[in-house]
Amino acid sequence: MSLTELSGTATPEPTTSERTARPPRRTSPFGVLLLRLHFYAGILVAPFLVVAALTGLAYTTTPQLDAMLYGEQLTVAQVGERQLPLAEQVGAARNAHPAGSITAVQPGDGDRTTKVVFSLPELGEKQHTVYVNPYTAESQGQLTTWFGSTPAATWLDDLHRHLHLGSVGEHYSELAASWLWVMALGGVVLWWRRCGAARATARHLLVPDLSTGRGVRRTRGWHATTGVWLAVGLLFLSATGLTWSRYAGANFTSGLDALDARTPEISTSLAAVPVEAGGGHHHGDAGEGGTVESAAFDRVLTVARDAGLSGPVEIVPAPEPGLAWTVTQTDNTWPVAKDRVAVDPAANTVTARSDFADWPLLAQLSGLGVQAHMGLLFGLVNQILLAALALGLLCVIVWGYRMWWQRRPTRTGRRALAGTPPARGGVRGLPLWALLIGVPVTVAIGWALPLFGLTLLAFLVIDVVVGAVSRRRRPTQAPTSPAPVRS
């Protein structure tokens, strides 16, 4: 094993057709800097990516887990000929759950049960959802849900986002997402430079060269080519993951506000407070003490259907008198249906409307990206793609650590557990124009992605300290004097 290979800058072993003499490759300061940054990120950030990949892989199975664990609540055993009015279904849910406020109703369709959501102060963000057979108006059970997610899906979602550690644990997922795009892009650039310097064919960018024999070169081939195949998907996961992270997500939201590109709000105000209809069945509080008339759910749903809202919908009663009800399409599969209307339940009229097609482009892309990140946009295909990305990322990380171990010194007296880092000196070798452009851009990215900026600064400080300590420990060679002349 050569010294250049131990330093992390070894060139790939030439194939049989390339065993001709060629001039040594000139090392670029850009390449030296990028290689060292990629190395540090791979060693120190990869463990966070491993956790994110494993928990994300588990989350991709939630539709199948829900069907297996909660099939009795989510589906009906036999589809009837006609659904009963929502008033009867909501009444059955209220009988099964006397306490709490009805905050939403999702009418059943086909073999899906109707979901009646109850809010209680002691549950915080979570709710109780009662599942009603739409053909018999019989309650089929109750679950504690979080924005519609079942307990199993909520548990796996919390595990992926913050490891059940609350706001403290959110730092791990944001750190992983902040560095994932840097590692993916940096790895592609490094492999492209290496293949170009070795005069390798374009095929070697995507297919590992198995003619290089065993050892670090073959591992590098698998590591790099797999990373190239995964690059687009990893960039997507990084970008969409950052949109709902704690710090970078807040900056993203501020940017949408500045561009007026957030999801539009729908007005629920009414010109006058409607007179409450008498004689109906009143079930449960609506927000701060108003009552919900069960028959109003049927009227509001009819108005929404007449307004063109097809497919699965969610009906949200007004939280207080004087406001309209809202009906929102909830089809998250492609092509998505996200149109919304505000309905006056007394006048049976649409008072406001917000169609997905009229949203700002960034709001549309953000919404679609979130659904794809959660494995919902393309159904089973989406789940398979996410699982493949997670497994591929795990393989790339394992191969990266294996390369580090394979580059370790093995000579007697110089043995070590792992290889030495790539050479320093990248920053010092950069031209002035690169520093004038690169430093402000890096600072701007660090401001937008605070955890990336802080950890990058920590890497630089650690590298400087390690370099200074190593220079101090390096033995200085004593000057030699001429040997005495023997007579």
- Confidence label for 440 from pLDDT (cuts 50, 70 and 90): very high
pLDDT at residue 24, as a whole number = 47
- Confidence label for 5 from pLDDT (cuts 50, 70 and 90): very low
Its sign, for the CA torsion 54, 55, 56, 62, is: positive
pLDDT digits (tens, 9 = 90+) for 359-379: 999 999 999 999 999 999 999
CA angle 23, 27, 29 (to 5 degrees): 160
pLDDT at residue 416, as a whole number = 67
Nearest CA-CA partner of 297 in 315, 282, 274: 315
pLDDT at residue 203, as a whole number = 78
pLDDT at residue 255, as a whole number = 93
Its sign, for the CA torsion 363, 365, 367, 370, is: negative
Measured distance CA(445)–CA(447) in Å, rounded: 5
CA angle 27, 31, 35 (to 5 degrees): 120
pLDDT at residue 158, as a whole number = 96
Measured distance CA(131)–CA(138) in Å, rounded: 9
pLDDT at residue 413, as a whole number = 62
Share of the chain above pLDDT 70, in %: 85
Measured distance CA(317)–CA(295) in Å, rounded: 12
Measured distance CA(368)–CA(372) in Å, rounded: 6
Return all residues near 12 (Cβ < 8 A) that are at least 6 apart: 194, 198, 200, 209, 212, 217, 220, 221
Range of weakest confidence among 257-261, 331-335, 451-455, 462-466: 462-466
Q: Is 212 exposed, middle or buried (0-12, 13-18, 19+ CB in 10 A)?
A: middle
pLDDT at residue 415, as a whole number = 65
pLDDT digits (tens, 9 = 90+) for 11-56: 444 444 444 444 445 568 888 889 989 998 999 999 999 999 999 9
Residue 484 has pLDDT above 60, yes or no: no
pLDDT at residue 479, as a whole number = 53
pLDDT digits (tens, 9 = 90+) for 120-155: 999 999 999 999 999 999 999 999 999 999 999 999
Average pLDDT of the segment spanning 100-115? 96
* Bigger pLDDT: 358 vs 276: 358
Residue 273 has pLDDT above 50, yes or no: no
Q: Is 459 exposed, middle or buried (0-12, 13-18, 19+ CB in 10 A)?
A: middle
pLDDT digits (tens, 9 = 90+) for 384-425: 999 999 999 999 999 999 999 888 877 666 666 666 777 776
Residue 487 has pLDDT above 50, yes or no: no
Q: How far is CA 52 from CA 26, 58, 158, 399, in A?
A: 38, 10, 12, 17
* Bigger pLDDT: 238 vs 202: 238
Nearest CA-CA partner of 193 in 424, 34, 37: 34
Q: Is 214 exposed, middle or buried (0-12, 13-18, 19+ CB in 10 A)?
A: exposed
Average pLDDT of the segment spanning 248-263? 92
* Residue with token string 């009800």: 325
* Residue with token string 């297919």: 207
